[in-house]
Structure 1
Amino acid sequence: MPALACCVDAAVAPPGHAFAGDSSLPASPFPGLPPATITTAADNSHWSPSLSSDLYRIDAWGGPYFTVNSSGNVAVRPHGTATLPHQEIDLLKIVKKVSDSKPECGLGLQLPLIVRLPDVLKDRLESLQGAFDLAIRSHDYGSHYQGVYPVKCNQDRFVVEDIVKFGSPFRFGLEAGSKPELLLAMSCLCKGNPDALLICNGFKDLEYISLALFARKLALNTVIVLEQEEELDLVVDFSQKLGVRPVIGVRAKLKTKHSGHFGSTSGEKGKFGLTTTQILRVVKKLDKLGMLDCFQLLHFHIGSQIPSTALLADGVSEASQIYCELVRLGAHMKVIDIGGGLGIDYDGSKSSDSEISVSYGLEEYASAVVRTVRNVCERRSVKHPVICSESGRALVSHHSVLIFEAISSSACDDAPPMSAFEHQYFIEGLTEEARADYLNLSAAAIRGEYEACLTYADLLKQRSVEQFKEGSVGIEQLATVDGFCDMFSKAIGASDAVRTYHVNLSVFTSIPDFWGIGQTFPIVPIHRLDQRPAVRGVLSDLTCDSDGKIDKFIGGGSSLPLHELEGNGGNNGGGQKYYLGMFLGGAYQEALGGVHNLFGGPSIVRVSQSDGPHSFAVTGAVSGPSCGDVLRVMQHEPELMFETLKHRAEECGQGDDGGMASAAVATSLARSFHNMPYLVSASSCSLTAMNNHGFYYCSEDDYDDIVADSAGAAAPVGEEEQWSYCCA
């Protein structure tokens, strides 16, 4: 007998025959259904952290900075390949240190959380510099490499200051594309190497150009790169008024470009830069003004995430020819700025056919650039220029990890068992057409015709919905039909096994590139990797928006291997927390994130490797924006809002408990304006109900007097935790 035959009673109408009104019905819809067809327990006996590492490709996209340790937790290798075993940093220990309360020796910060790793940032910068130094020696190149960091990738103060500090021995500089970026770059480079370049890109007005010229007066090695031909007149006029000799570069529109989203700003139709005709006019105008010696830099940009060194070499070769032509025309050229484009391997595939991967490493990239520039210059008998790159994504992506919590999952509930009487009542409540569908479904199950089962199950559900809309059946019967049909689907393996995991995060705020351009990032549980993940899931965020979900993952999957939440996670039932990490997101995500649904950014900590017992020290910590902070972004005034609500609470609470209830409301409101908008469990907040009025407050020392003076004793919220908008 087919496997599904146990789901129905053989006394049902003979195969192929089902008649409306037939009373020969099974006593139970699924007697004897094997449990294995419904649930499958994770078998950890043959699982290991190394298998999890392979499953999530951690070594492929994360090497040499991330690994899985023997405890099954993701660990950071802060110095890359030079990291010693005792220097590895366990991410779960960082989360515990940061999120534990202060009495527990923690910092009391709320998740979501960005963990910044300046040691990783330092290693990335040194590795980039080392790759170019090696290529210069290998190809007997006659000049040097001098990089700049484009601050648009991540304008965080400490990130920029770290890059200036770590890059000082290498004359590493900064690139700005707007007036505020130029101001912060000028300020930071005052503490950097005096030879470090300050590259001024982007569209410019008189104020921007005046700032750049002031930077030269401040002895900063500033280069104004023309993005539009008309910018030259502003540079010439204002430099003469200030008595400053400018250093000028141009951004060339190359014919070379790469396809896909990241190459859309390159090529002849690109957003920025000058054509060869416009460049020639700039040369002639500067020559006529006696300022051709000011023209010293050529800049170009093929596009971000250049997929292969072959495409890179094509673009560098074209630009090198333009550089040599400018030398021939009399410009005092010194620097070729190859722009951005140094990609990273987000999915570990090392593929040139993917927009989120590249087929080369740092050394291959540097070698292709140096070799190509040298070959062109040698053929043209031109002195080798200083090579500059604006490699932002490759510098900062690895040093930042976003950690967030899965708070619940939408596990499918099994249909409740029905007694023979309940089953008979259920059948009698169906119309003749629906009852015929049920009998046909039962007969098809006995014959093992699973496609027919699904067809009749769909018909049965449709007819039940029609009856419900007409008011002829109640919600209990509708739910019973749904459970009945879902049981059939599970038994034949046709049900959707993908669960939705609800995460304490805003995709729009913290991973905007996923929502905006479909960019995928590595997302991995940061612990329990010594256990086999038994569930596949998608991630749904807190926002009231259907786009607030993550349902595409590296490797092309539409779901992610996950573990069962223990006690349904940190939500009801007080289960163990389940933490996920989004990696390689250190570039652009923080700068691009918005405040959809008024969810602000995450808390941030800086963690450095140390010789302490846990191998790390938290050197800086900032709580995420409060409710009041995000309200101010939208021009609201939290102080006035609080006074309005406090006054209303006093009006509504007159005569109740001597005004103590309204005082408790005011206290709770004040706290809410200062708390982050993300969810925390009530037990971790020490929330307490007061006087059964339904108002809650955080029972901290500051509010002990209010508790003591309350008319009624404080009562606990309940044994089950409730998720609320309040502070941890």
Structure 2
Amino acid sequence: MPSLANFSETMTILPDDVANNTNNVVNWTPSHSSTLYKVDGWGAPYFAVNDNGNVTVKPHGDRTMVHQDIDLLKVVKKASDSKADGGLGLGFPIIVRFPDVLKDRLECLQTAFNYAVKSNGFNSHYQGVYPVKCNQDRFVVEDVVKFGSGFRFGLEAGSKPELLLAMSSLCKGSSESLLICNGFKDSEYISLALIARKLKLNTVIVLEQEEELDLVIDMSVKLGVRPVVGVRAKLRTKHSGHFGSTSGEKGKFGLTTTQIIRVVKKLDQCGMLDCFQLLHFHIGSQIPTTGLLADGVREASQIYCELVRLGADMKVIDIGGGLGIDYDGSKSSNGDVSVEYGLEEYAMAVVQAVKFVCDRNNVKHPVICSESGRAIVSHHSVLIFEAVSSSKYTVPAMSAFDVQHFVERLPEDAHSDYANLSQSAVKGDYEGCLLYAEQLKERCVGMFKDGSLDIEQLASVDGLCDLVAKAIGVANPVSTYHVNLSVFTSVPDFWGIQQVFPILPIHRLDECPAKRGILSDLTCDSDGKIDKFIGGESSLPLHELEGANGMKYYLGMFLGGAYEEALGGVHNLFGGPSVVRVSQSDGPFGFAVTRAVPGPSCSDVLRVMQHEPEIMFETLKHRIEEYVHDEGNIGGAMIAGGIAQSFHNMPYLTVGSSCGLTAAIGNNNGSCGMTAVNGNNGYYYCSSDEDFVAGADAVCEDEPWSYVCA
């Protein structure tokens, strides 16, 4: 019988498919990494790769001077290093916000529309609103109001809590800033909107359903407030992508032309037609082309002109959202991850379409409003997380003796499959090798299930089949990188709609990434992984984890500032990330951390699900007092102290750290179930940078958290 002992010599071994042929580049430079990860495409003008091989942030976009670049690795080290080492001691994952980038995005959008208005002779102006649903974080909303007050930038709300935060925030903004009230409404929502108008906020109630008009009329009479009303129109124009599914005549929101006419008649009958001042529409997020955009704007502009003809006191056309961003750097209209235009082309298409239709109908040019949330906040936020380990199946080496021993132990039924496999190998028949290897494997698996094959034999079959696949060149070279992250919490759009984001290492970009990998998160869920990346890739070029000086391996997810934080849940009780705000500074480090907030603790996420951590701790403390005696390496007070600390730590792993329990028993090579060690790498759930040992005098029956170190 032919032997497979020298199988790898019998056939031509094909090289591993490493990252986009990076193994062919002799002198790897940061420029190669920038091209590989398409940073110049999706990242411009805010992200680049510097000469040190680190991702750098350009906080003022194209206006950023060289000395104003912010090295992202330095920011991460400042945020995550222990306080003893001069850091802030924050746990991963970490969201880094750059308010300077947010300011630049607002200014660029306004500048683009200002230029389009002036160059086309448009006789009105643009003033946008930020839809707070994109990111309701207090400081994001306050920044938008502060940075946009000079050009009357306002807010859009779609629920009662969003309306309350918008009302409060706009008290510090321009008196002309619009407060657009979208979403489904009840009498309380409408009352709040009318009260906002009484407080001299420039509030517009946009009707999403025809029956909302009766509530507006009734509540305005009761409160003695003259409302300003708009309608959301269901256009015929829609785009075919995922984000266009809620637009068109059968869309979730808005009124048909028949319903709009009834609204006009009812307002006229009530002597309130002058209150009708705004037309709103939305043809879907991530509008791929300016041609589709212009088509929708022209249709809406014609409705606007018809409303003027019917006697409404129209003043504003609200073109909704849809201003897309280029997630993959391709600047194409294929799919939902890119758009073929920039801010200037977008603004020009809108202004020209509105002007053309209004001029044709001899209608005064309206104020143009847009609700561009994704394009405003996506760039200013970067999610940083660690890769803590990687795994890849290694094909076992099989000597002639191993193969002979393997064959001798094979049941008679499997000998024919092995013989066919051997003959195909000698002939160089790749397809035959794969076919017979698969047949051999299937037969042996069946025999194992029947109990006629032991586990050692089954392992040998697996090893042989993997050896065949590797020799032929079809073995999967992709590794799994385990990351300190919950996809469900921090990247929910990937799990929900397969939205891809730019992901890359934020350092070591002066080194060639010799591996490819997918990212697997901490959750006990098979969907907790990222295996689709920009450019249609199913894996990501990555480095070996052991870098220079044993440095941790940091990855960044970019363009995720919109929606991800608001949509994230607490699957497996993993809470949100830590957050730092970083502004450009002329100091020695080039940046200043203006705010740092640790991520939610275990107690915080437990409370979200209606648990009471204080009571839980008391229950465990009494259990300790009942069953643990101060004998051996660890006593009851120390265990209670460790449990209390765990309640106050973030749920994520802390790499290379220790806690009081492990430190106390470390000299005796003991183990403790509380530390949740991952292999031999020392990944602990306890995140204290300093060893904590609770003394007996720390116990206090009246204080449920008496074991927590300050």
- TM-score of the pair, normalised by structure 2: 0.91
Counterpart for residue 621 of structure 2: 646
Q: Measure how far apart 1:136 and its partner are.
A: 0.6
Counterpart for residue 513 of structure 2: 533
Q: Of residues 306, 309, 317 in structure 1, which corresponds to 2:298?
A: 317
Counterpart for residue 605 of structure 1: 580
Q: Measure how far apart 1:527 and its partner are.
A: 1.4
Distance in 2 (alpha carbons) for counterparts of 1:93 and 1:166? 26
Counterpart for residue 558 of structure 2: 583
Counterpart for residue 369 of structure 2: 388
Counterpart for residue 19 of structure 1: none
Q: Of residues 123, 127, 133 in structure 1, which corresponds to 2:108?
A: 127
Question: Is 1:683–2:657 an aligned residue pair?
Answer: yes
* Post-superposition CA distance 1:195-249 (Å, at most 9, x none): 1111111111110011011111111111111111111111111111211111111
Which runs of structure 2 are paired with 1:372-451 in the superposition (5 Å)? 372-418=353-399, 420=401, 422-451=402-431
Identity of aligned residues (%): 70
Counterpart for residue 630 of structure 1: 605
Q: Check whether the contact 2:14–2:471 (CA below 8 A) recurs between aligned residues.
A: no
Distance in 2 (alpha carbons) for counterparts of 1:196 and 1:593? 30
Paired residues, number? 682
Q: Measure how far apart 1:495 and its partner are.
A: 0.9
Which runs of structure 2 are paired with 1:207-246 in the superposition (5 Å)? 207-246=188-227
Q: In structure 1, what residue type is equivalent to 2:276? A: F
Distance in 2 (alpha carbons) for counterparts of 1:276 and 1:204? 21
- Could you say if the C-alpha distance between residues 31 and 280 of structure 1 is closer, same or farther in structure 2, counting changes exceeding 3 Å? closer
Q: Measure how far apart 1:437 and its partner are.
A: 3.0
Instruction: Report the secondary structure of 2:357's partner residue.
Output: helix
* Post-superposition CA distance 1:505-530 (Å, at most 9, x none): 11111111111111111111111211
Counterpart for residue 79 of structure 1: 60
Q: Check whether the contact 1:660–1:706 (CA below 8 A) recurs between aligned residues.
A: no
- TM-score of the pair, normalised by structure 1: 0.89
Question: Is 1:667–2:641 an aligned residue pair?
Answer: yes
Q: Measure how far apart 1:320 and its partner are.
A: 1.1
Structure 1 residue ranges without an equivalent (≥5): 1-11, 14-24, 710-725
Distance in 2 (alpha carbons) for counterparts of 1:235 and 1:81? 46
* Post-superposition CA distance 1:626-667 (Å, at most 9, x none): 11111111111111111111111111113636x961211111
Q: Check whether the contact 1:29–1:423 (CA below 8 A) recurs between aligned residues.
A: no
Q: In structure 2, what residue type is equivalent to 1:703? A: F
Moved more, 683-692 or 169-178: 683-692
Instruction: Report the secondary structure of 1:618's partner residue.
Output: strand
Q: Check whether the contact 1:28–1:423 (CA below 8 A) recurs between aligned residues.
A: no
Instruction: Report the secondary structure of 2:26's partner residue.
Output: coil
- Could you say if the C-alpha distance between residues 530 and 412 of structure 1 is closer, same or farther in structure 2, counting changes exceeding 3 Å? same
Counterpart for residue 3 of structure 1: none
Q: Check whether the contact 2:659–2:691 (CA below 8 A) recurs between aligned residues.
A: no
Counterpart for residue 703 of structure 1: 692
Q: Check whether the contact 1:29–1:484 (CA below 8 A) recurs between aligned residues.
A: no
Question: Is 1:494–2:474 an aligned residue pair?
Answer: yes
**Aligned-residue RMSD, C-alpha:** 2.6
- Could you say if the C-alpha distance between residues 663 and 699 of structure 1 is closer, same or farther in structure 2, counting changes exceeding 3 Å? farther
Q: Check whether the contact 1:37–1:491 (CA below 8 A) recurs between aligned residues.
A: no
Q: Of residues 92, 112, 133 in structure 1, which corresponds to 2:73?
A: 92
Structure 2 residue ranges without an equivalent (≥5): 676-685, 699-707
Q: Measure how far apart 1:701 and its partner are.
A: 6.2
- Could you say if the C-alpha distance between residues 109 and 685 of structure 1 is closer, same or farther in structure 2, counting changes exceeding 3 Å? farther
Question: Is 1:102–2:83 an aligned residue pair?
Answer: yes
- Could you say if the C-alpha distance between residues 360 and 639 of structure 1 is closer, same or farther in structure 2, counting changes exceeding 3 Å? same
Distance in 2 (alpha carbons) for counterparts of 1:277 and 1:38? 63
Q: Measure how far apart 1:36 and its partner are.
A: 8.3
Instruction: Report the secondary structure of 1:683's partner residue.
Output: coil
Counterpart for residue 62 of structure 1: 43
Distance in 2 (alpha carbons) for counterparts of 1:249 and 1:546? 46
Q: Measure how far apart 1:31 and its partner are.
A: 7.3
* Post-superposition CA distance 1:666-695 (Å, at most 9, x none): 111111111111112243657425374626
Q: Check whether the contact 1:44–1:531 (CA below 8 A) recurs between aligned residues.
A: no
- Could you say if the C-alpha distance between residues 450 and 429 of structure 1 is closer, same or farther in structure 2, counting changes exceeding 3 Å? same
Counterpart for residue 596 of structure 1: 571
Distance in 2 (alpha carbons) for counterparts of 1:708 and 1:36? 67
Q: In structure 2, what residue type is equivalent to 1:645? A: L
Q: Measure how far apart 1:705 and its partner are.
A: 5.3
Q: Measure how far apart 1:565 and its partner are.
A: 2.0
Q: Check whether the contact 1:688–1:699 (CA below 8 A) recurs between aligned residues.
A: no
Question: Is 1:193–2:167 an aligned residue pair?
Answer: no
